[in-house]
Each structure stands twice: as C-alpha cells, then as structure tokens.
Amino acid sequence: MSTPRKQISPHNLESSFILSIWQSAIRLTLFFSISRWSLDLLGTFVNFILRRSGRKDITYGWVEIEVLVWTAAAGVALCLTTELKLSSSIVNILFILALLRLAEILIIQIDMTLFSTYQGQAYPVRSLRRTAILAIHNYIEIIIWFAFIYAAKSADFFTPPNTTLNHLSTSLYFSAVVMTTLGLGDIYPSSSHGRYVTAAHTVIGVFMSIVVFARMIGQLPRIDTFDSDETEGGIADRGPDEAGEQTGRH
C-alpha cells in the first residue's frame, strides 16, 4: 500500500533567496535609472503646468516620450559619430551614455517579464499592443546604440581598425547582424574587447528577440475550433445554431 503524498501548502514554503537577490538588485538599479529621474522631474513640471491650465496629467504618455526621445538620441549620436569628426571626450561621454541606456533597457525588460507581474497585486498596462510596440522600439534602439558603439570604437575592437564601420550603413548592418545572431562572418571583431562587446550584444539580442516575439504572439487573435479537445468553451461547446451564426456557415 503506497503512502499518501504529503500536501504542502504554498504558505509553508521558504522564500527563494535567489529571487530575492535578483529582485533587490533590479529594484536598486531602477532606482538610479537615468530615465527615471529625468522623466520624473520633467513630468512633475509639465503636469504642474497642465493642472494650472485645467488639463489632465500625462501618465502613460511619459513612457512613450521616453522611448521616442532615447531612440532619436541614439540616431543622433550615430549620425554625429559617422558623419562628423567628434572629439574623443565627446565620444567617450556618448559611449558611457550608451552603456547606461542599454543596461537600463535590459533591466526594465527583465523586471517587467520576471518580477513586476508577480508581486501579488494588479499590474495594469495601458495596452498590451502598446507594450509590444514599445518592446519593438527598444529592440530598434538597441541596434542603433550598438551601431554607434561599433562606429565609435572600431579602432579598439578591430585589429587592424575596420574603417568601414565608420560609415552609417555599415555600422547599422553589422549591429543588426549581431543583434539577430545571424553572423555572416564578413565583419568580425579581432580584439578581446570587441569580442566581449559582440558577445554581450548577442546575448541581449537573443533575450530581446524572445521578449518581442512573446509579446507579439500574445496579441495573435484567438481562433475558435470545432474540436472540443483543443478548446474549452469554443464553438464545439455551443449549439449548432450559435456556432453557425458566429462562423457565417449554416
């Protein structure tokens, strides 16, 4: 006679320390987010003006403004680097800004995917389609920032320096190839620093591809089926008249 399996209540389980460590690290990093503080200050000022004029506050719109502004900033940085001869100090400042922004995007996406939706409370979003589109914007922004990095640091990542990456189209092409893990092999880093950056870019590309595909797939329309084994509450569970009215077939 088999011994009945002991039932374990979820309330009696110990908390996961690895989840706690990751969550604390994510929260701490988001607290020092460059976008968080800049948008909070700007939002406080603009919403104060809107209240004084009797208009509604901007809430979700700040996220959209942030994504568009950062994408534009990445494009401007790339164009200035490839089309103009910027001083090394300006390039280094933009390089640090690019690294901070890339880390911020990655951390925000990890937080939204693994932590914010599992806090035991409602986590409403403005729109699921909007969330998917914003993820696509982040994907494009990452490509542009890494194109800037490859163009700005081509002398450090390639031995001998690959002058073709100083062109706008080539840097975008190489960044897109690495981001999608395509790896054609016509351009590749030859220094250790270049390999580290390219490897990090590939990992970020895989993660962001999963995020974008998951959110896009989540927006696919639900398809009814007559097979009751495939769906619960679908057409097969309705009467023939009701099913015929919905499908247009009688």
Segment 96-107, tens digit of pLDDT: 999 988 988 888
In a domain? residue 45: yes
| CB within 8 Å of 232: residues ≥ 6 apart | none
Residue 232 domain-assigned? no
Task: Give the total number of structural domains in the chain.
Answer: 1
Write the pLDDT tens digit of every residue in 139-187: 999 999 999 999 988 877 776 666 678 888 889 999 999 998 887 777 8
* SS3 state at 106: helix
Q: How many CB atoms lie within 10 A of CB 75?
A: 18
Cβ atoms of 143 and 176 closer than 8 Å: yes
Give the ranges where 2-127 is alpha helix by DSSP (H): 17-31, 34-52, 61-83, 88-114
Specify the higher pLDDT residue, 177 or 16. Answer: 177
239 within domain boundaries: no
Question: What is the four-CA torsion angle of 162, 96, 130, 22, rounded to 10 degrees?
Answer: 110
pLDDT score, position 15? 64
**Taking residues 55-79, what's their average pLDDT?**
80
CATH code, domain with 42? 1.10.287.70
Residue 165 in contact with residue 171, Cβ under 8 Å? yes
Residue 127 lies inside a defined structural domain of this protein: yes
**Structural domain contains residue 228:** no
Structure tokens at 108: 């925000």
Is residue 25 one of the residues assigned to a domain? yes
The domain in which residue 115 lies consists of 16-220
State pTM to two decimals: 0.74
How far is Cα 136 from Cα 123, in angstroms, rounded to an integer?
21
Instruction: With CA atoms as reference, report the closest residue to 150 among 169, 165, 170.
Output: 165
pLDDT (mean) for 19-27: 74
Q: Which residues contact 52 (CB under 8 A, 6 or more apart)?
A: none
In a domain, 24, yes or no: yes
Instruction: Quick: pLDDT tens for 83-123.
Output: 887 888 999 999 999 998 898 888 888 887 777 665 554 45
Residue 5 in any domain: the answer is no
C-alpha count within 13 angstroms, C-beta hemisphere, residue 126: 12
Which pLDDT value is given to residue 110?
Answer: 84
* Percentage of the chain exceeding pLDDT 90: 22
